[in-house]
Amino acid sequence: MKPLIFTPLELRVLALLAIFGLLVPNGIFVYYFFNDPEVSRIAMSNPISLVFMTEAFFLMFLFAWLLRKAGSTKPNGLVFIIMSLVGSMVFSVPAALWLTFRNRGVK
């Protein structure tokens, strides 16, 4: 497997994706969570929604484990889990990639 190397443009796109993930999907969730809590209750009682939420949790732990296996210290697996719970996977995956590769040599 070839080493993972990001160009400066790709790193900027990862940063923008992380910002988008934190503000847009997470912002919509926070808005409805506080302004219409019934929507959250309905989602939690919907079996299809629960499947997607369960899958997201499994993927969160898988990515945290992969970060640990790769020897990532910034962010480490625990920080990735916290970022995923505070934001979303749309935030935490590009943010973790950006944090991991921003100071490495780029081609």
Long-range contacts formed by 27-32: CB under 8 A, 24+ apart: 29/88
The model's pTM is: 0.86
Q: Mind listing the pLDDT tens digit for each residue in 7-46? A: 999 999 999 999 999 999 999 999 999 999 999 999 999 9
Q: Tens digit of pLDDT for each residue in 59-97? A: 999 999 999 988 888 899 999 999 999 999 999 999 999
21-34 in b/e form (b: 16+ CB < 10 A) is bbeeebeeeeeeee
pLDDT above 90: residue 106: no
pLDDT at 105 over 70: no
For helices 77-86 and 47-69, angle between their N-to-C axes, nearest 10 degrees:
150
Q: How confident is the model at residue 52 (pLDDT cuts 50, 70, 90)?
A: very high
